[in-house]
Amino acid sequence: MRVFVLTGAGISAESGLKTFRDNDGLWENHRVEDVATPEAFARNPALVQRFYNLRRGALADVAPNPAHVALARLQQALTACGGALTLVTQNVDNLHERGGAADVIHMHGELARVFCVACGFHWDAQCDLTPQSQCPACQTKGGPRPDIVWFGEMPYHMDKIEAALARADLFVSIGTSGAVYPAAGFVQAARERGIQTIELNMEPSHGSLYFDTAHYGPAGTVVPIWVADLMTAIKLD
Ligand code: APR
């Protein structure tokens, strides 16, 4: 069986990371357009870098919750019997990896990565960024920026994602409001292929009518239950 899982901020909420659309349109007290657009970075790189430095630093204070761990366990079990679980996340945290998942596709980038606007080199963030930071590849000062897909930018890995969607037998969406495309459209693509679609979320998402089945509640509870039920149904252990 090939399972395609899309996750959003809701899966990391119980680990202590805030979701996007439940705090008056503000994000850690900033308007999104002041910190999460290429224009914001051009206008005030120090503010944008400080914002992402703080968010990157905060990863050390959080841990994967039972939802991350259950998905990793399902991935390992499916892989061991010739199946697959493609894990696509809109999250920029690293909790899926720390929960044990492999080959996580970060379509909106990663807090733990940096890239250079001058030469396109990507690398693991070793320290906080400042407007004086230098690219290790081309030495451009001020070139390094957070490796985050900002509003108005193209999500990463779309070819790989579409290929996995085209092969999947089951589509599962976890902890996402379904407000941001292209991720919000994956469920419709899955339906057009006639595969089963499942939503696991705190509440019905914007796309809830496209799901065949839904389980509403905190991810840390509903995901492990769904994983255990699926593993029993397809006789995995
Ligand atoms: N368990 C499950 N779901 C939860 C939980 C929880 N403990 N807490 C909140 N949720 C649900 C909310 O009900 C909401 O539907 O998670 C969803 C989070 O939605 P958003 O805040 O919109 O986050 P997300 O869908 O990941 O946002 C998509 O928008 O701003 C951009 O790039 C950013 O990747 C992000 C994208």
Q: State the pLDDT at residue 228.
A: 97
Binding residue positions for Zn(2+): 116, 119, 135, 138
Which amino acid residue places its CA nearest to atom 7 of ligand 1? 218
Ligand 1 pocket, residue 224 CB under 6 Å: no
Predicted confidence at residue 33, as pLDDT, reads 84
The CB of 111 under 6 Å from ligand 1? The reply is no
pLDDT higher than 80, residue 227: yes
Binding site, annotated residues for substrate: 52, 55
pLDDT tens digits, residue range 35-69? Answer: 999 999 999 999 999 999 999 999 999 999 999 99
Domains of the chain: 1-17+63-108+155-237 (3.40.50.1220), 18-61+110-148 (3.30.1600.10)
Q: Give the C-alpha separation, 61 to 199, whole Å.
A: 29
CA of 219 to the centre of ligand 1 (A): 11
What is the pLDDT, as a whole number, of residue 236?
82
String of DSSP letters for 158-211:
HHHHHHHHHH-SEEEEES--S-STTGGGHHHHHHHTT-EEEEEESS--TTGGG-
Which residues 6+ apart lie within 8 Å of 56 measured at CB? 111, 112, 125, 128, 146
Mean pLDDT of the chain: 95
Catalytic residue among 108, 122, 157, 206: 108
Q: What H or E segment, with its residue span, contains residue 34? A: helix 32-35
In this prediction, residue 237 has a pLDDT band, given cuts at 50, 70 and 90, of confident
> Tell me, what's the ipTM?
0.99
Best residue for ligand 1 mutational test, from 180, 198, 216 (most atoms within 8 Å of Cβ): 180
Residue 25, pLDDT above cutoff 70: no
Does 177 contact ligand 1 (Cβ within 6 A)? yes
pLDDT (tens digit per residue) in 85-107 = 999 999 999 999 999 999 999 99
| 144-148 and 109-116 beta bridge pairing | antiparallel
CB 202 less than 6 A from any atom of ligand 1: yes
